[in-house]
Amino acid sequence: MLNITRKIPFFIRCKGFSTSSIAYAKKKASKKEVPTEKVLLGRPSNNLSMGVVGLPNIGKSSLFNALTNSSVPAENYPFCTIDPSEARVRVPDDRFDWLVDTYQPDKITPAHLTVVDIAGLVRGASQGAGLGNAFLSNVASVDAIYHLVRTFENDDITHVENTINPVRDLEIIQNELRIKDEEMLERQLIELTKLAKFPDSKRLPGTMSKKEELAVVEKLANFMAQGRDVRKGDWNNNEVNTINSLHLLTAKPMIYLCNSSEEDFINGNHNKHLPDIQRWVDENNKGDLIIPLSVSVESKLVDMSKEEAEAYLNDNRIESQLPRVILAGYKALDLIHYFTCGKQEVRAWTVRNNAKAPQAAGVIHTDFERGFISAEIMKYHDLKELGSENAVKAAGKFLQKGKEYVMEDGDIAHFKFNGNLRDSIIHNKRPCTNPVLLCSDQQEKVELRYGNRINRLLKLIDIGSATQTPKAQSVKCVIQHIY
């Protein structure tokens, strides 16, 4: 059989002759549909905060002090707190404690949750009562809410409504948040109705038109008119982006904390108000978490020594609820953390749930995300079961992951990325345009070829091979995050 492909060089030399009739058609590349990532309600950040919200004089500042081991004034009169107080709370994690015991590092950095103590809201706060507008703006600045409600009777502690009625108190706070959101949506409707009449000449590609924004705001207003909180709606990505731009109060996750007396809590939370609170939450915000606790008990535990606290808990057969409160807040913010481990430091890095490996690497340093190559991942349970990193590697469970890998809570990670030495060591100002390979392996220590100085964020230690040529230099570095 004639092999026509052998004639191609001759055909090419013939002026005006086309070879298109015998060219082999390329197979069409199969297009894989990339699933659209769901946009989350709230700020796209890893540095998120919980706010303690409720009526005045119900134990908010005392709870804040117990959570954060602080000393914010807690007095028996309304509005003893005016300016919000903020503190970071350690996130309890047995895995972190085990890693610290295993690696025996020089430095430890656990995961933290930011908590804000917000002054009490009162009936009519949305109209300015009790400095309400200022306090509501403080609520807007946090990302999720601990809604504390009083369920204990005590004639010595005044109540702004004069009687103990937790369901009424819950409705007061919820109504004030809703009214503020409805006012915001009403202003947006007026503004967008005017703007929608004109063409969007300055509209950026990929953004919504004013008419589309108007339709979303109308949908939100109708939804809230049914007495529902925004966080309970099923919204598409465009709608979520609009909600996030409006910073709506009822879009924030909510956890209900029921402050019982010490006696009720020790007796197994036999509080007559708890069933009513459960019914109200099921009717109004089904699925929201309720945590009964006693701020009085938690405050006592903070003032005790470790031995005294353990004895008190054992004698009364109770547990502190603060770890549960902290972990619930962390989960409500949709946060997880992964670990980097070595002799120098064991550290927990907080990221949003479903973050991909490059985004997680970027929390350590932005260069890690920009030049991401791969992530070396160990699972905590594998390390604990097998006992060492070498054993994990020998068992074939030291995983190499790429850019699409979704980080899981408790991953132990090392990152590799391409960077430019001049970008990474700005302080040295040594000209270098060769690509370098950087990783977060903190176990090897040698001096940096380009100097021993450290910049504000990173210390780079060169363990590059002397056999590498200047034209194709590959320098492996240890990254140590410092302050």
Known binding residues for ATP: 57-62
At which residue do the structure tokens 């999720």 appear? 144
Q: How far apart are CA 345 and CA 194, in angstroms?
A: 57
From the CA atom positions of the chain, what is the Rg in Å?
29
How far CA 236 is from CA of 36, 37, 208, 244, 283, in Å, comes to: 11, 11, 13, 12, 25
Among candidate residues 273, 303, 276, 277, the one with its CA nearest the CA of residue 288? 277
Q: What φ, ψ does residue 233 adopt, rounded to 5°? A: -85, 165
Runs of H (alpha helix) within 7-59: 8-13
The residues near 277 (Cβ < 8 Å, ≥ 6 apart) are 149, 151, 166, 167, 170, 256, 258, 290
The token pair that represents 158 in the structure block: 């005044």
Among candidate residues 439, 464, 458, 442, the one with its CA nearest the CA of residue 389? 442
DSSP class of residue 285 equals: S
SS3 255: strand
Q: How far apart are CA 52 and CA 114, in angstroms?
A: 11
The token pair that represents 163 in the structure block: 């009687």
The residues near 415 (Cβ < 8 Å, ≥ 6 apart) are 357, 361, 364, 368, 372, 374, 375, 376, 439, 440
Q: Are 100 and 346 in contact (CB under 8 A)?
A: yes
The β-bridge partners of 480 are: 459
The β-bridge partners of 419 are: 436
Q: Are 152 and 71 in contact (CB under 8 A)?
A: no
Annotated binding site: 57-62
- Read out DSSP for 410-451? T-EEEEEEEEEHHHHTGGG-----SEEEEE---S-----TT-
